[in-house]
A and B are shown apart, each in its own frame.
Chain A
Amino acid sequence: MTRLLQGLDLWRAGVLIVAVVLAVPVLTVIGFLLQPSGEVWEHLLATVLEGYVINSLLLVAGVGFGVLNLGVATAWVTSLCEFPGRRLFEWTLLLPMAMPAYIIGYTYTGLFDVAGPVQSSLRGWFGWHYGDYWFPQIRSMGGAIVMLSLVLFPYVYLFARAAFLGQSVCVLEVSRTLGYGPWRSFFSVALPLARPAVVAGMSLAMMEALADYGTVHYFGLSTLTTGIFRTWFGLGDVAAAAQLAALMLGVVFALVLLERGSRRRARYHHTSARYRRLPRYRLRTAPALSAFFVCFVPLFFGFLLPAVQLLVWGLQTAARMIDADFALLVFHSVMLAAGAALMVLLPALFLAYGKRLRPFRDVAVAVRIAAMGYAVPGIVIAVGVMIPLAWLDNTLDHWLRTSFGVSTGLLLSGTLFALLFAYLVRFLAVALQAVESGLGKIRPSMDEAGRSLGHRPLALLRRVHMPVMGGSVLTAQLLVFVDVLKELPATLVLRPFNFNTLAVRAFELASDERLADSSSAALAIVAAGIIPVVVLSRSIARSRPGHDETA
C-alpha cells in the first residue's frame, strides 16, 4: 500500500537549486556593483561611459522603431489582405531570422561601402570622386539600426500576426458597421487590440539588438557590448567590465518588464472564442501592388540580397576555403551545437515537469528566473561565467594541492564546460518554451485517466508523454541548435583555444577584412538558420485564430 506524497520533495528542491545555479552568472555580475569603483571605472565614467550608454540606447530605440514598422506592416498585410504572393510571403517573411545580424552587416559593407563594388561602379560610370555625391554610410549608427531591424523584425511580425489572427473577426465587423473603413478599423481597433503582442515582440527584438556585438564592433560603434569587451581585454580590468555589464542589466531589466507585462496583457486581449475563417480584404491592383512591395522590400533586403551576395562570394572562394580545415570547423560547430541542444533539454524537461507536478508559487517563480537568460546579453553571461568558474577552479586546485599535493589544473574555466554552461543559461528559455507547450498538450486529466486505468506515473511517461511531446522536444532541440550555431560574443570569450566555430570564423575573417573568405562560414550558418524558419512556418500554416501562438 503506497502513500500519496505531499510535502518534502525532491522536485521542488531540485527546481529551486537549478534556478539558483542558472542565476549565478547574473548574480555575479550584479555582485560587482557592490565593489568599490576603481581607477578604471572612474576613467570610464569620465570619458566613454556616457557614449556607451547613449549609443546603446539609441540603437535599441532605433531598432524598436524599425521592427515596429516593418513587423506590423507586414503582419497586417499578410493576415488581413489578399493579394498575389500573399501565401508565399506568409512564411518567407521569416527568412531574415536565419541571417545573423553581423553577417548581414559584413555583406552590406562589402557591397555598399566606399571601396565596394556599388560605389566604385557609380564613381566609374559618372566620373565622380568621393565627396562629389552623397551615399548612405553603411558603417554608422543608422546603418546598424537598419541591419538589426531587417533581421529582427520577424519577431514583431510573428507576434503581431498571431494577435491579428486571434482577434475576433466580429470585432472588426462591428467597427465596419459603426462606419469605420478598413484603414480606420486598422488604426482604431485592430492595432490597439494587438498592441500588447506587438510590444512583446518589440521587446524581444530590442533585447537582441542590445546584446549584439558582431555588428556594432564591425561598424566601429561604441556601445555597452563593445565597451565591455574593450574594458575586459583592452584595459585588462575584469571588475570594471563586470560593472559595465551590471549597468547593461539595468536596461535589460527594463526591457524584460516591458515584455512580460505586455505578454500578460496580450492574454486578456484575445477576444475570439470560436474559430471563424477571417475574410480577407481583396485588394485592387494599386493597393495590391503596394502590399506586395511592403512585403517584398524587407524580404529582399533582409534575406535575398545578402544571401545572393554570400553565394557569389562563396562560389568565388570555394576552391580556396573549403578544405579539411573547414570541414573540421563545421564538425566542431555542429558537435558543439548538438551537444548544447541535448544538454539544455534535460534541465528544460526537469523544470517543465517540476512546474506541472508542484504548482506552487515559489516553483513557478524559480522556473521564470531560470529562464531569464534569453534577455541577458551573451557577453554579460560570459563575464558572469568566467569569474566564478575560474575562482572555483583555483580554489579547488589550491585546496587539493595543500591537502593532497595533487594539482587538478583548470577543470572548468577555459574548457567546453564553461561555454556549455553559458549556452545553458542563455538558451534554456528557448527549450523550456517548446517543452512547456508540448507538455501543455497533455492535460492533467490525461495523467489521471491513465492512473485510473491502472498505470503507474512512470509508465505513463513512456506511453503517453513521450509520444505526445516528441514533436515539441524535437523543435526545442532544433531551435537551440541553431541559436548556438549563430552565437558570437560568449563563444568568442569562453571557447577553449583552437576550438573555432563557424560564427567565430566568419567574424574573424570579416574583421580581418577578408569578407569574401568569410562567406563560406556565413553561408553554413544561414543554411542552418533556415531550418527553424521552416519549422516555424509550418506552425504558421496550421495557425488558427484563438490558437496560442508565440515566436
Chain B
Amino acid sequence: MYSNHSKSSYLELMLKTRTGLFLWLLGILLAAADVLVAAEVNVYSARKEALIKPLLDRFTKQTGIEVDLVTGKADALLSRLVSEGSNSPADLFITVDAGRLYRAKEAGVLQPISVPELETIVPAAYRDPEGYWYGLSLRARVIAYARERVDPADLSTYEDLADPKWKGKICIRSSDNIYNQSLVASLIAGNGEAATEQWAVGLVANMARRPVGGDRDQIKAVAAGQCDLAVVNTYYYGMMLNAEAGSPDHEAARKTALFWPNQQGRGAHVNVSGAGVTAHARHRENAVRLLLFLLGPDAQQWNSEANYEYPVREGVPISPTVAAWGPFKADTLNLERIGVDNRAAVMLMDRAGWK
C-alpha cells in the first residue's frame, strides 16, 4: 500500500499509526512510573485507622506522597514482618506501645535512623537510644477513682494498690493487655522482680472481679459501684468525657476522676505510641519524611486534640480536656526497658494469678 512512499515517510507514518501511539504511551508510562514509584510510603500500623488516617491524608496533601496503610494487631503485624523478611513491603511500623517497638527492634525488622532533627524533637526517654524507633505521642496509665466514695488523699502510688485496705475495690483489665504488661515491666525496672511479684499477688487479691473488658469497662464498673479504683490509660478517660452527653460513657466518666500516682517518687508510668523505619524499607526517604511530619507541631496538636494524648514535642498546645488534668511528673525510665522486661512481666503476671 505504501510502496510508492520513501523510507523516511514510512517511519513517519508508523509513528502516526496505532502501534506508534502505543509505543509512545509505553514510553511515557515507564518514565512516569519512576516518579510514581518514588512517591509512596507503606505503613504497617497497630494504631487504629480512624485515629491515624486523617493525619496520613494530610501528609499526602502536603507532600504528594501516597500512603498505603495496613492496620492490624501489633503482634500479628510483627509476626508478619518477621516472616516477610526482606520481601516485606512495609516502610514504617507504627505501634501503640513501646514494648512492641522494642520487640520489633530485637526481631531485626527495624533499621536505625539518625536524623538530628528527630533527636532534638523527641526526648531521650521516648526514643530508642540507637535510633531504631521514635515515640509519636505520650499517654499515662493512671488511677481512676470514684468521686463519691474515694478520698484522693488515700491514694499515693501504684505499689499502694496492693495494700489490703483496697481489698475487693480494684478493677483492672486482663494481663493479656500490653498496657498492663508495660506497667508491670516498668515496676520491675523500678522495684525489681521479686518485689513486683509480691505486689502483683497483692493486687490480684484486691481485685473486685476477675479481669474482664477493656479500660472503658473498668471506668464504667467504678461508676456503677462494682469497684472504687481502676487503672486506665488517660486517653480512654478523655474519650469518655467527651462522649455524647447523657451517654453511658459520659455519665461514667463524670462519676470518676483521675489521680496521678507516684508523684513524690519516680513519677506516673507513661508509654508512647511510636514508629520505626523497617529494615528493608524501599522508600526510606519517604518514611523519614512521614516521621518528621508526624512529629511536626500541627500533627502533634491534632493528635492531642483528637485522641486526648500528650505530644512528645515540646511547646505544642494540648487539648483542653487533657490540660484540665493538670501537669504531672512522668517516669523518666527509658521506654526501651519496657520492651526488655516484657516477657518477664507476662510470666510474672501468670505466676501471680493475674488472669
Contact = CB atoms under 8 A, between A and B. Distances in A.
B213 interface: yes
B87 A230 contact: no
Contact of A47 (B77, B174, B226, B351): B351
A324 to B, nearest CB: 14
Given A47-B351, A114-B221, A233-B79, A498 B71 contact: yes
A520 interface: no
A130 B171 CA distance: 14
B76 A493 contact: yes
A543 interface: no
Contacts of B181: 234
Interface residues of A toward B: which range? 35 or more
B224 interface: yes
A545 B49 CA distance: 56
A394 B83 contact: yes
Contacts of B346: 234-235
B224 A220 contact: no
Nearest to A498: B70
A220 B83 contact: no
B220 interface: yes
Given A236-B103, A407-B86, A513 B72 contact: no
B76 A115 contact: no
A390 B223 contact: no
Contacts of A393: 83
Given A219-B212, A497-B70, A115 B221 contact: yes
A204 to B, nearest CB: 29
A487 B44 CA distance: 25
Interface in B186-224: 209-214, 216-217, 220-221, 223-224
Interface string B135-173: 000000000000000000000000000000000000000
A119 interface: yes
B289 interface: no
Nearest to A51: B355
B76 A119 contact: no
Nearest to A230: B176
A130 B72 contact: no
B98 interface: no
Contact of A43 (B70, B174, B220, B350): B350
Interface in B263-321: none
A115 B174 contact: no
B224 A233 contact: no
Contacts of A407: 86-87
B71 A513 contact: no
A335 interface: no
A21 interface: no
Interface residues of B toward A: which range? 35 or more
Contact of B225 (A130, A236, A512): A130
B224 A410 contact: no
B343 interface: yes
Interface string A213-240: 0000011101000100010111110000
Which among A140, A234, A235, A407 has the greatest number of chain B C-beta atoms within 10 A? A234
A511 interface: yes
A409 interface: yes
A442 interface: no
A513 B177 CA distance: 14
A140 B174 CA distance: 14
A48 B83 contact: no
B58 interface: no
Contacts of B211: 220
Contacts of B85: 394
A467 interface: no
B355 A120 contact: no
A233 B221 contact: no
Contact of B210 (A44, A220, A233): A220
B72 A497 contact: yes
Contact of A220 (B79, B84, B248, B355): B355
A277 interface: no
A485 B45 CA distance: 26
A2 B351 CA distance: 73
Nearest to B74: A233
Nearest to A389: B83
A409 B75 contact: no
Nearest to B236: A513
A512 B226 CA distance: 20
A222 B355 contact: yes
B59 to A, nearest CB: 18
A462 interface: no
Contacts of A219: 212
A44 B346 CA distance: 11
Interface in A177-203: none
A393 B83 CA distance: 9
Contacts of B87: 397, 407-410
Given A114-B226, A394-B85, A497 B73 contact: no
B347 interface: yes
B229 interface: no
B76 A233 contact: yes
Contacts of A493: 76
Given A131-B225, A513-B217, A414 B351 contact: no
Contact of A513 (B44, B73, B210, B216): B216
Contacts of A413: 83
A512 B351 CA distance: 27
A409 B80 contact: no
Nearest to B343: A235
A284 interface: no
Nearest to A387: B83
B347 A114 contact: no
Contacts of B75: 232-234, 236
A230 B347 CA distance: 12
Nearest 5 A-B pairs (CB), nearest first?
Answer: A130-B225, A233-B75, A409-B87, A220-B212, A47-B350
Given A120-B224, A236-B75, A498-B69, 7 more contacts: A130-B225, A139-B213, A222-B355, A390-B83, A393-B83, A407-B87, A497-B70
27 contacts: A43-B350, A47-B350, A114-B221, A115-B223, A115-B224, A115-B248, A130-B224, A130-B226, A131-B226, A137-B209, A218-B212, A220-B210, A233-B73, A233-B75, A233-B76, A234-B75, A235-B343, A394-B83, A409-B87, A414-B80, A414-B84, A497-B80, A498-B71, A511-B214, A513-B213, A513-B216, A513-B217
Interface of A: 43-44, 46-48, 114-115, 119-120, 123, 129-131, 137, 139-140, 218-220, 222, 226, 230, 232-236, 390, 393-394, 397, 407-410, 413-414, 493, 497-498, 511-513
